[in-house]
């Protein structure tokens, strides 16, 4: 937090002009707080209307805890004692105020932003590997954690809320970071969490059904993704999009960008004139090789990642790195060893147990499950066994589709729980199984307890089989009701393999 902060500096970018009562632009403050429970003496408390709570209900509590100024929305509260600043819309002002409170750290960083239904985390990790290979100090913010130059911390959200986001970027800047790469969710784009950031390079990895509990429909969901190019990309920036799987989504994403930016389409061959094009692709169980035609010339890509979707991620990462000014050969060298994000087709191995092969993956949408199955099928010597559940309190419309995709792609399908949250896990599995075709029901094993499902699938599999445990990936917890318990698919898979030894 800026130690020389005044109300004038905090509110400098807010329009229409704030109205001061009992204070002025020169009034010093020590911090900005949006949660009354975190207010410390000397802070300014910003009252924001959230999804479930209205911060204006807590102004008295904030004052009791030492808030020297209350920043409120003019139409939400009447006269208040003490120092008060009135704004037209505190929610709209929140991201700007958070940035100002921390000295607008993003202004001193080269930023890359990644959106997409699937692939954001892997691509962010790939970009991070290339930045490290180039010897650059960087931050990486996303689902699996927040890396700040030399250490990683936990992440509560894929894209942090404004106060936390600006604090993370400020810490990265203090640690002499020059670059940052972050996942940008559709929720964050709709809610304006990333204002007032301006990205040098942005990418779209994929687009398919998800989050329809938040977005009105798929068109509304895509509109949210396109805000990244329309509202947050620098006029001199680069926009990159994978076009093969979802060409219309990629077209709209690129078309939303300012006219002056570079637009690079990424293709595995379906679009022969794409700016980044994969030619002579050679997949194998050990990874993939491809010749890439790029704006930086022809490059030879080698990667330990498997699957067509990971080739998309690799090429989007390459485009973002080129947009950030990283030398092409440095990027290629980094991608040759980069393993992407944890919990993404992550192999679980136990010495002295030759099989089955077990892979844990974060796939939690119909498209992601289909992609994961497609990626591992060529390397499955025996049966492909899929363990899959669906999360509770989230987009129920995708559950039958996920059940159908798993049943059609697997030789054995274990239908189980994911994070049921406050829903009945049996009812969630019922919805999944409603999508399973009648002629595929014979391959289904219903086992609502996830630990038992993982154990059962691995115990039943032969040495030549492959078990894909999908849905939770890197997560080390399960949410049952409102309680979060420790649960790691990788640990349960390892225990099941140990029992075969």
Token output for 72: 């409120």
Token output for 137: 């100090």
Give the angle subtended at the CA of 398 by the CAs of 397 and 402, to the nearest 5°.
145
How far lies 20's CA from each of 47, 98, 298, in Å?
15, 19, 60
How many C-beta atoms surround the C-beta of residue 115 within 10 A? 30
Q: Which of 364, 360, 358 is nearest to 379 (CA)?
A: 358
Q: Which of 112, 110, 116, 56 is nearest to 86 (CA)?
A: 56
Q: Which of 2, 75, 73 is nearest to 32 (CA)?
A: 2
Q: What angle do the packed helices 247-255 and 218-232 form, to 10 degrees?
A: 30
The CA distance from 413 to 447, in Å, is: 10
Residue found under tokens 């979060």: 484
| 228-250 tens-digit pLDDT | 999 999 999 999 999 999 999 99
Please provide residue 360's backbone torsions phi and psi, each rounded to the nearest 5 degrees.
Answer: -110, 135
How would you class 75 by CB atoms within 10 Å of its CB: exposed for 0-12, middle for 13-18, buried for 19 or more? exposed
SS3 99: helix
Say if strands 44-46 and 69-73 run parallel, antiparallel, or are unpaired: parallel
How many C-beta atoms surround the C-beta of residue 463 within 10 A? 12
Going along 102-248, which residue ranges are E strands?
Answer: 110-115, 138-142, 145-148, 152-153, 179-183, 199-204, 233-242
Residue found under tokens 């092409």: 328
Token output for 289: 């090789």
Q: How far is CA 66 from the centre of its chain?
A: 36
The CA distance from 280 to 294, in Å, is: 14
For 24-45, letters b (16+ CB in 10 Å) and e give eeebbbbbbbbebeebeeebbb
The domain locations on the chain are 7-101, 105-335, 346-498
Residue 2: CB partners within 8 Å, gap ≥ 6?
9, 101, 102, 103
Residue found under tokens 């691995």: 458
Say if residues 372 and 384 touch (Cβ distance below 8 Å).
no
Q: Which of 145, 141, 109, 107 is nearest to 127 (CA)?
A: 141
Report the top-level CATH class of 346-498.
alpha beta
Q: Does domain 105-335 have CATH number 3.40.1190.10?
A: yes
Name the H helices within 134-206: 162-174, 186-191
Q: How far is CA 161 from the centre of its chain?
A: 13
Say if residues 390 and 420 touch (Cβ distance below 8 Å).
no
Which regions of the chain are under pLDDT 70?
1-3
How many C-beta atoms surround the C-beta of residue 141 within 10 A? 25
Say if strands 233-242 and 152-153 run parallel, antiparallel, or are unpaired: unpaired
Beta bridge partners of 102: none
The CA distance from 231 to 227, in Å, is: 5
Find the farthest-apart pair of alpha carbons in the chain and give their distance in angstroms, rounded: 75
Token output for 225: 């993704």
SS3 431: helix
Token output for 481: 């009701």
Query: Which pLDDT value is given to residue 1?
Result: 65
Question: What CATH topology corresponds to 7-101?
Answer: 3.40.1390
Give yes or no for a cis peptide into 24 (omega within 30° of 0).
no
Spell out the SS3 assignment of 335-367: HCCCCCCCCCCEEECCCCCCCCEEEEECCCCHH
For residues 324, 113, 157 and 245, what is the CA-based torsion angle, rounded to 10 degrees?
Answer: -120
Query: Which pLDDT value is given to residue 2?
Result: 60
| 272-315 tens-digit pLDDT | 999 999 999 999 888 999 999 999 999 999 999 999 999 999 99
Token output for 460: 């039943």
């Amino acid at each position: 937090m800026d130690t020389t902060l005044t109300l004038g500096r905090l509110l400098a970018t807010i329009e229409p002009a704030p109205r001061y009562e009992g204070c002025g632009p020169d009034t010093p403050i020590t911090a900005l707080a949006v949660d009354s429970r975190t207010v410390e003496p000397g802070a300014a408390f910003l009252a924001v209307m959230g999804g479930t709570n209205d911060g204006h209900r807590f102004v008295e509590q904030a004052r009791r805890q030492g808030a020297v100024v209350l920043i409120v929305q003019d139409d939400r509260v009447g006269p208040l004692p003490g120092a008060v600043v009135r704004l037209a819309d505190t929610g709209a002002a929140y991201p700007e105020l958070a940035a100002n409170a921390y000295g607008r750290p993003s202004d001193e960083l080269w930023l890359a932003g990644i959106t997409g239904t699937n692939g954001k985390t892997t691509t962010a990790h790939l970009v991070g590997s290339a930045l490290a290979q180039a010897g650059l100090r960087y931050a990486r913010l996303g689902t699996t954690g927040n890396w700040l130059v030399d250490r990683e911390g936990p992440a509560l959200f894929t894209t942090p809320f404004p106060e936390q986001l600006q604090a993370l970027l400020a810490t990265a800047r203090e640690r002499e970071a020059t670059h940052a790469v972050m996942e940008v969710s559709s929720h964050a784009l709709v809610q304006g969490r990333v204002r007032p950031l301006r990205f040098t390079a942005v990418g779209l990895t994929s687009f398919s059904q998800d989050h329809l509990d938040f977005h009105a429909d798929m068109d509304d969901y895509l509109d949210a993704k396109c805000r990244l190019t329309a509202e947050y990309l620098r006029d001199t920036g680069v926009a990159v999009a994978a076009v093969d799987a979802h060409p219309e989504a990629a077209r709209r994403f690129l078309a939303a960008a300012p006219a002056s930016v570079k637009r690079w389409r990424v293709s595995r061959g379906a679009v022969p004139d794409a700016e980044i094009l994969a030619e002579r692709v050679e997949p194998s169980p050990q990874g993939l090789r491809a010749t890439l035609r790029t704006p930086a010339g022809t490059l030879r890509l080698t990667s330990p990642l498997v699957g067509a979707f990971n080739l998309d991620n690799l090429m989007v990462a390459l485009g973002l790195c080129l947009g950030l000014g990283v030398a092409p050969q440095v990027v290629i060298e980094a991608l040759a060893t980069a393993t992407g994000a944890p919990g993404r087709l992550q192999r679980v191995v136990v010495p002295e147990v030759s099989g089955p092969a077990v892979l844990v993956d974060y796939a939690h949408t119909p498209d992601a499950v289909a992609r994961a199955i497609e990626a591992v099928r060529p390397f499955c010597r025996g049966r492909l066994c899929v363990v899959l559940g669906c999360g509770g309190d989230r987009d129920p419309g995708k559950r039958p589709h996920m059940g159908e995709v798993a049943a059609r792609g697997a030789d054995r399908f274990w239908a189980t729980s994911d994070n049921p949250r406050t829903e009945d896990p049996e009812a969630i599995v019922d919805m999944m199984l409603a999508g399973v075709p009648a002629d595929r029901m014979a391959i289904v094993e219903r086992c609502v307890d996830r630990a038992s499902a993982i154990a059962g699938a691995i115990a039943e599999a032969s040495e030549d089989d492959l078990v894909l445990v999908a849905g939770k990936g890197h997560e080390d917890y399960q949410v049952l009701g409102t309680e979060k318990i420790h649960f790691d698919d990788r640990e349960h898979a390892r225990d099941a393999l140990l029992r075969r030894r």
